[in-house]
Amino acid sequence: MEPGFVPIAILTFAFLAYYFAHKRRKRSLLPPGPKGYPIVGNALDVPTEAPWKKYHQWCDELGSDIIYLNIAGVDTIVVDSLETATELLDKRSSIYSSRRPSPMINELMGWEWDIVFVPYGDLWRAQRKMLHQTFHTTASHKFHPHMQKNAHYLLRQFLKRPGDVIPNLRHMAGKTIMDIAYGLEVQDENDPYTKLAEEANRTVLEACVPGAFLVDSIPILKYVPEWVPGASFKKKARDWKELATTMVEKPYKAALNRIESGNFIPSFMAYRFFDIQEKKEDYSQHEYVIKSVAAAMYSAGSDTNVAVISTCIIGLLQRPDILKRAQEAIDSVVPFGELPNFDDQEKLPIVTAICMESLRWKNPLPVAMPHVLIQDDIYKGYVLPKGSVVVANSWAMLHDATVYPDPFSFKPERFLKNGKIDEDVRDPAKMVFGYGRRRCPAHHFAVAAVWIAVASLIASFDITRAVDDNGNIVDEDPPYEESLICIAKPFKCKMVPRSEKHERVIRATADREYRYEW
């Protein structure tokens, strides 16, 4: 035996004993969680599809609304109830509002500008302030003409292609965002701006899937040269970064040229441009924030808009009685054959209830974008370590049978009482649009855009299941994509105008003048 071996062995043994004792002691102070494996922890236990269901299962098995996971060395806290989400993410938002930068998305793909991924700090505060100024409850009303115009466009699309639900909704959503963010008119399905944004958005959704790229778990891999075997992600990231940069720059420059020429329609960019001029401030000091917020609006809003409205249609296919009831309500408020507008909203609580249930039933973001804890915290006697990723399981909260009886059924009537919205039933918007300081600052705008589209569809069309040549129902229960965003896969249904007058009114909207607020 070589000299010095015994002392080294003793010291090594003592170190390992202390290390594992410390790990056990630390583990005993953490919230309960599944055991996991060496090194990778629970990474192999979390499914890539519908992880929120597994999270909720673990919470049930462990009897806790807060659990701990070790995802390949990353401390992860799953929050399964609104009570805990409110306490941590709302009341303690000053320490729970950051993001964990993704080497793939933020650095390699160049999405460091997107408010969804920006860490808590000066840039994020500037972006959020600008969004709030433009889209708070009162300010968002000035975009009602834009929303109504694009809802009417959707109706005309369903006259042309009555069965193509997802393509019609996707084009309408892209048209709405381009209109409101930039003031750019999208003419048809082949519009270069929406095509560009859709493609860029697809890449970031792919990169957001947990475990999609090893570099997010082992950040040092970002330094590996592109030619090294196994580093194909570097080339993919380079191509995707070019796409993202073009998406940010191209519509921005086109919109700015129109604003400077005086030939523009009111938009987020126009409002901010002239607000800065009025304050006699240097536009260049605000340009990056304006540019990044405008691009982020498409990234954050397009798919969620499609997800909610398509879910509404699927729900109405399951509940033709609710569709009929809503049509009768609209006919009692709006002259038969005419189209509803925002002035009718308070008189049509059933349409509001349908939208609320669509948000709840198949909520578009089952798991909120993860928050990051910036300092150690203690909750219910548990130690929550600094740097922990905190995941709010919105799906579990929105399907809590103690709050929403029969939660997996589409029941808009759960939100109604005596012909009004029942204020005692928890509003799904509290969980759908995020938590604390990371709550979507444009959620009033998002809800309004969904409401006018859904009200217009219900008023104008009889919506029934599609059938094949043999009379068999097609797509009786359309499946959903269950990844970052929960959205129905393309499906068919039958959209028939309720009368000849409805059809004439829909077609006439093509020549209608919309008066924008300025």
User: Rounded CA gap, 442 and 29, in Å?
Assistant: 38
Mapping DSSP onto H, E and C, the string for 335-351 reads: CCCCCCCHHHHHHCHHH
Task: Check: CB of residue 279 under 8 Å from CB of residue 424.
Answer: no
* Residue among 431, 128, 177, 493 nearest 305 (CA): 177
3 state DSSP class of 487: strand
User: Rounded CA gap, 69 and 389, in Å?
Assistant: 10
Query: Cβ–Cβ contacts within 10 Å for residue 96, how many?
Result: 29
User: Rounded CA gap, 135 and 431, in Å?
Assistant: 19
Placement of tokens 């599944």 in the chain: 34
3 state DSSP class of 494: strand
Q: In what order do the strands lie in the sheet with 389-392?
A: 66-71, 74-79, 389-392, 371-372
- 249-255 contacts: CB < 8 A, separation 24 or more? 249/291, 250/192, 250/193, 250/196, 251/178, 251/181, 251/182, 251/184, 251/193, 251/196, 251/197, 251/294, 251/295, 252/182, 252/291, 252/294, 252/295, 254/182, 254/184, 254/193, 255/182, 255/183, 255/184, 255/294
At 76, phi and psi to the nearest 5?
A: -130, 125
Answer yes or no: is 312 a known binding residue.
Answer: no
3 state DSSP class of 399: coil
Residues in the annotated binding site for heme:
440
Residues in the annotated binding site:
440
